[in-house]
Structure 1
Amino acid sequence: MKKKVIGIVLVGVAILGTAGFLMTNKSQSVEVETIAVQKGNISEYVEELGLVVSENKGSVFAPTAGKVTAVMKDVGDFVDQGEVLVKIDGQQLSRQIMELEAQKSALMAQYNEAVKPIDRKEIEKLELQLNTQKKRVEEARRQNEVNKTLYEAEAISYEEYHVTLTMLQEAEAQLEAINLDLDLIKKPVSENIINSYNAQLKQLDIQMEKLRSQGEDYVVTAPLKGTVMSKFVEAGAYVQPGTQVMEIADGEALYIESDVLVAEIAKIKIGTAVEISHKDLGIEAVKGTVKKIYPQAFSKVSDLGVEQKRIKVAIDLDEKIEGLRPGYDLDLKIIINQKENVLLIPENTVFEKNGKHYVFVSENNIALIKEIQKGIESKRQIEVVSGLHESDLVIVSPDDKLEEGIVLKSDVPTKS
């Protein structure tokens, strides 16, 4: 019986202690704001800026040098493929044609000289010169031998001997030159040389025909259908070959390019959904899809001056956006994870302690701490994987004064 009495006394003391705790905290009740745990949808996403780009675009360049006589289109004008954009002074073309004709005439003279038939009279003339020169060489050689003998006998001076030696050398050189001329006139022209001349002449003809087909005024035409985005020349300007004159883009075939941080790119795949928005343009949550992830990273300096490694991503528009133009900046949310019908609470209801996450809940106007497991965090909301149930009342922005077991004012309205 004694032990039983002690047990009852201890229970009584415990009851009195709990009542005292509640009475103490009742006098210290605090006013809090609560919100009910609700089910809903949540998405995790990467936020980036995107640039509207035309699928079909092209730069137009001047193909020749000359003075611009007319600019037919202005920025914003629509053009069809093949439509005239710029005219260039035709005098430059005339000069180019004249230069090519002069080159052709010079080349034809060389060709005719190379392929002219053998002149028999010229050959006979050279052969006569050759025979005469051979006799001169023989006579010079005989005279040189005589003077050599006299010089060795000291009958004449070295200077007298050297004169005949020089005459012999000159006669032999003239003989060799006549032989070369005779061989050259008899030798037929190589087939390779003839083919080379013909190819050069044909190339000149093609260039001249191309220039003549361009008419009096050289015209620059649109390579594709679209809108003139930029204009770089005015009438009266002088352009060189390769000078950019205009830029054209198809305003209907549009997509979006975005530069994503390398740290985020692993979460993004081909086919990843994208939400596209722009408050000022009235664009809200238009759907898009990642269609391409470029293979090479590049460095880009952020607005804060920090150099970052990024990867370019191309995004298709799943819906048409009226009034959208190339060059517009858009706000993107690249969805990397999303769940439906899960428990959600505001992020400002959660606090961390010793690496774990907790919330305060209100049960019968008493503050209790509950550990939770977080899931997706997005839009200032957190998915609750475990630890809470739907309709549980969690306390918003709990401060340091809030303790477990404290009494909460029951007249505080709750959010829903």
Structure 2
Amino acid sequence: METENIVIIGAGIVGLSTALSLQKSGYQVTLIDREDPGMGASFGNAGLFADYARLPFTKFAMLRKMPGMLLDSTSPLSMQSSYLPNLVTYGLGFVKSCLPSKYEQGRAALSALQNCAVAADQRLLQLTGSEDLIKAKGCLALFDSEQAIEDARVGDMAERIQQGVSLEFLSAGEVADLEPDLSAFHAGGVFYPNTRFTVSPVALSQRYAEHFVAQGGNIVLDEVLEISPQGPGVRVRCSGSVSQFDKLVLCAGVASKKLLKPMGCNFPLVSERGYHLTLDTDGKKLSRPVGWLDKAVFLTPMSDGVRLAGTAEFAYADAPLNPERASVMLQHAKVMLGQEPEIRSTWVGSRPSTPDSLPVIGMLKQYPQISVAFGHGHLGLTFGAITGQLISECIRGVQTSVDLTPFAPERFS
């Protein structure tokens, strides 16, 4: 039997992980992206394999806070006014997903992915020889008041413990023992002992890409303009070529929406942008990622400096960086470190966000030769490997390791 030829659109961490899984299963795989591997949204994340992330954002309590957050220039949530029309369908879906039954389904679905994620990560890290890029020193999530800690203790943290997350509450003094170079901005917080992080998200993507090519994979740098089912296969039109493949996997983040729309597939996928600043902390060191949850920012020690990552900005993916958002983040870092760090570089990128906080994973019922894997929001790195494994299982026709019903593309119809 002739080897099936599969094309993957999108060379971020999800696309690369999917390429490796399919390649290992014996398929001939081509990866297409207009940028080098890992240079899109995967370039800019906080570097966390966030094992604790098992709760959807879809809560009525969050919904009630949003208007005030949007009016507060120092809050982690902002919106480009011209982008508002794009959020109507998304917003309606978000409200629907806040219903208790929907929220509980989402929580169970995220937990199911998390239960398989670490083993999937480990397989790819070993396969590609990337273990040296990963640190296992846990993660700190801090609050600036005792009341915020108590609210978390009976709220999100209690839920996480129920979902199997390992965590412990620490006093301000215990936090200082772990990270003595932090300022005393916090009242204490939570330590997640099992959380891992990468010292370079882009180096991890590059390592995956190098292994993929070394094993016979093909990477094409070009912009995909159109995908169209042709009989049992798929035609892909790029700016410089037209090619035919047996199957296609779409891992192109926010751009996936535009490519699917001409086929009658409409997804309420929006651009939720995140920022990062690479900081020179003038000798102040961190051993692990440290989050200030009240401000929704993380400091992560990386190979090129300390990365300050965070914010959620609903805006067009190609809009210029908003210096006010970067300035607010820098002020948060100044408080966390007790001094104003020097900025080495700034970055903004677009996360693909869904109304129910769940990624879209699986085959299209209408076009089974096309599979999709996008909408991971803040959890692309966390769920990249398990997503690739699930797509490979789908295409091979075997029972998937996780029930894909909650992630089905058709759930928005």
Larger strand share, 1 or 2: 1
Range into which the TM-score falls when normalised by the shorter chain: under 0.3
More RCO (CA 8 Å, sep 6+): 1
Q: Which has the larger radius of gyration?
A: 1
Larger helix share, 1 or 2: 2
**Structure-2-length-normalised TM-score:** 0.16
